[in-house]
Structure 1
Amino acid sequence: MLITVLLVIASLSCLLTWLLRRYALASSLMDIPNERSSHSVPTPRGGGMAIVVCFILAVLGLALLGQVDSAIAFALCGAGGLVAVIGFLDDHGHIAARWRLLGHFAAAGWALFWLGGLPAISLFGTLVDLGWFGHLLAAIYLVWLLNLYNFMDGIDGIASVEAICVCIGGALLYAWLGDTHGALLTVLALAAAMLGFLIWNFPPARIFMGDAGSGFLGITLGVLSLQAAAASPELLWAWLILLGVFIVDATYTLLRRLLRGDRVYEAHRSHAYQYASRHYGRHLPVTMAVTAINLLWLLPIALWVGFGGVDGAIGLLIAYLPLVFLAARFKAGALETK
């Protein structure tokens, strides 16, 4: 039964992506290459709305059947839906950065209200409750994650395979430790929706997800990570490890650009994955390398942490050190030479 449901979600996502591609072509909703692009062919955008619609419908259906806790459903659908609408409007026109940011914090606040804020976190074997400061950090974390996901969605398939790999890791953790409030079904539903979209987004991509899809994925994965932390404090570390490729590249790049005095809100193509794609001349090797890093390096460490084999902070350090090296190796945040 579960396999059938997941196949239906994936199939619906694939069909909706096809319809959105036709709509984008008819409406001239195209991503036109420029000097800051990592692609060379005009490509339809906005396909991420297929992920949004399929996942929200799946979560609402699971909640109505009593398989997902209603508070989790409200957090995911409300926050994700608001971010997706903001992104959809921005894809079709332009929304000033300050208004987008205000909407992002409103979405984060909505999610944290239903989640009960940041739960106590495990730090070297000790549970630490940060109180109101923790809730503020959680809001900043959610807003940063949804924006970094947008920054990292710059080459074919990379954001899609990242989300699928993270969901695989989350599903394995829940399968081993026990489902909590429908968390296993939720991450599987997201993976299925992503798989349907990836059929159209795999290199060479025939449609991009756009800001609506990338922002939605960022805040959704962030909310799921906080839900995991509420189930077991070590799981937050495990989710941060699973998200390591995107977190390290985006954060390393941002810090380097801030130190240089760049306008960080302006578009650029100085992430490590963008330098790597230009180095290899194609998107596919980089997307596949990200998949390999996720499944062969980050996933085993995340499971090691989640199963209690090593402290979460230590596991995070072990997981991130090679990623920092790769970010430096591929000049993340460096000025691009003309």
Structure 2
Amino acid sequence: MLWLFLLVIAIFSFGLTWVLRRYALARSLIDVPNARSSHTIPTPRGGGVAIVLCFIAAVVVMNVLKMMSFNDSLALLGAGAAVAILGFLDDHGHIAARWRLLGHFSAAFWALYWIGGLAPISIFGATIELGILGYVVAAMFLVWMLNLYNFMDGIDGIASVEAVTVCVGVAVLYGLQGGISTVAPLLLACSVLGFLCWNFPPAKIFMGDAGSGFLGITLGILALQSAWISTNLFVGWLILLGVFIVDATVTLIRRLVRGDKVYEAHRSHAYQFAARQYKRHLPVTLVTGVLNIAWLFPLAWLVVEGKLEGLIGLLVAYIPLVLLALKFRAGDLEGR
């Protein structure tokens, strides 16, 4: 029954993306290339709304069928919808950065209220419980996830491939543990899969801020929810999300150190330099998926199974990614 429902979600996502593409073309909602773009052909935008609507509908159905808890559903629905609406409005006009940030933190605290904040974290046998401070730390994590996903949605298919491979990887880890519901990550993967058919290089439609922001905060919420089951599962999420977390964070730090205005649009992420170097988006998008499957998933599995200490697993996963990001000039000046 669940697998049939997942197939239906993917099909609806595919069809709704087609409808949104027709709408964008009719209303001239086109992303026209400029000096800060990584694409060269005018392309419709806003297709991420299909991901949002399909996932929200799926969560409502799962909640009605008692296959997802009420609190977890409210966390995902409220925060995700708020971020998607903000992104949609920003896609169709412009919202000042301070109001967007206020909206992002409001959505984060909404989600944290329903999931109970940040779970106690175990490191080398010691348990760290931050209490009320944990809400602040977790909120900053969610807002960073939201924004970094937006930053990383800069070439064809990369944000979609990241979401699908991470969610499927997590679902496998949950399944191997036994007794952990795989519903939420699989619903998100299938909601993205239908859109990916249109977004895969060369993209016929872009996700837009509504879709990328929604994916970022939803993945962040799912990761924080897993921490209440075990710290190792949470670390597994962080490992699987490593490509995006490392590229975005290294880029941000280098730009901050240089004194750049970090809120301004730029093309200085490692994946953007790589796409320009190879003159195509496809190799970079495919390598992202391969890294998730061949490098990060095995490490996440070792951590979740307790065969590798979480912090060590995180370092083993991230250090090569940091070196790779630096090799491809993450945060470097674009003109160099």
SS in 2 for 1:282: coil
Please name the residue that 1:293 is paired with. Answer: 291
5+ residue gaps, structure 2:
none
Q: 1:126 offset after TM fit, Å?
A: 1.8
Please name the residue that 1:332 is paired with. Answer: 330
Please name the residue that 1:105 is paired with. Answer: 105
Distance in 1 (CA, whole Å) between partners of 2:136 and 2:80 is 19
Does the 8 Å contact 2:239/2:318 carry over to 1?
yes
Please name the residue that 1:13 is paired with. Answer: 13
Q: Deviations 1:142-172 (Å, cap 9, x if unpaired)?
A: 0000000000000000000000111011101
Distance in 2 (CA, whole Å) between partners of 1:168 and 1:125 is 29
Change (3 A) 1:179 1:79: farther
Q: 1:2 offset after TM fit, Å?
A: 2.1
Q: Does 1:34 align with 2:34?
A: yes
Please name the residue that 2:219 is paired with. Answer: 221
Q: 1:174 offset after TM fit, Å?
A: 1.1
Does the 8 Å contact 1:13/1:196 carry over to 2?
yes
Residue correspondence of structure 1 range 181-260 to structure 2 within 5 A: 182=181, 184-260=182-258
SS in 1 for 2:127: strand
5+ residue gaps, structure 1:
none
Does the 8 Å contact 1:169/1:303 carry over to 2?
no
Change (3 A) 1:179 1:36: farther
Q: 1:178 offset after TM fit, Å?
A: 2.6
Distance in 2 (CA, whole Å) between partners of 1:192 and 1:331 is 33
Letter of the aligned partner of 1:141 in structure 2? F
Distance in 2 (CA, whole Å) between partners of 1:171 and 1:96 is 37
Does the 8 Å contact 2:21/2:45 carry over to 1?
yes
Does the 8 Å contact 1:125/1:311 carry over to 2?
no
Does the 8 Å contact 2:152/2:159 carry over to 1?
yes
Q: 1:317 offset after TM fit, Å?
A: 0.1
Distance in 2 (CA, whole Å) between partners of 1:94 and 1:337 is 28
Q: Does 1:129 align with 2:132?
A: no
Please name the residue that 1:81 is paired with. Answer: 81
SS in 1 for 2:206: coil
TM-score (structure 2 length as normaliser): 0.99
Letter of the aligned partner of 2:149 in structure 1? Y
Distance in 2 (CA, whole Å) between partners of 1:178 and 1:98 is 43
Distance in 2 (CA, whole Å) between partners of 1:309 and 1:77 is 35
Please name the residue that 1:71 is paired with. Answer: 71
Distance in 2 (CA, whole Å) between partners of 1:237 and 1:133 is 20
TM-score (structure 1 length as normaliser): 0.98
SS in 2 for 1:333: coil
SS in 2 for 1:231: coil
Q: Deviations 1:239-281 (Å, cap 9, x if unpaired)?
A: 0000000000000000000000000000000000000000000
Distance in 2 (CA, whole Å) between partners of 1:335 and 1:179 is 49
Distance in 2 (CA, whole Å) between partners of 1:53 and 1:305 is 34
* Percent of aligned positions that are identical: 64
Distance in 1 (CA, whole Å) between partners of 2:103 and 2:335 is 35
Letter of the aligned partner of 1:115 in structure 2? I
Does the 8 Å contact 2:9/2:190 carry over to 1?
yes
Residue correspondence of structure 1 range 130-149 to structure 2 within 5 A: 130-149=130-149
Distance in 1 (CA, whole Å) between partners of 2:87 and 2:97 is 11
Please name the residue that 2:52 is paired with. Answer: 52
Q: Does 1:93 align with 2:88?
A: no
SS in 1 for 2:228: helix
Does the 8 Å contact 2:170/2:237 carry over to 1?
yes
Does the 8 Å contact 1:245/1:290 carry over to 2?
yes
Does the 8 Å contact 2:109/2:135 carry over to 1?
no
Q: 1:125 offset after TM fit, Å?
A: 2.2
Letter of the aligned partner of 2:330 in structure 1? A
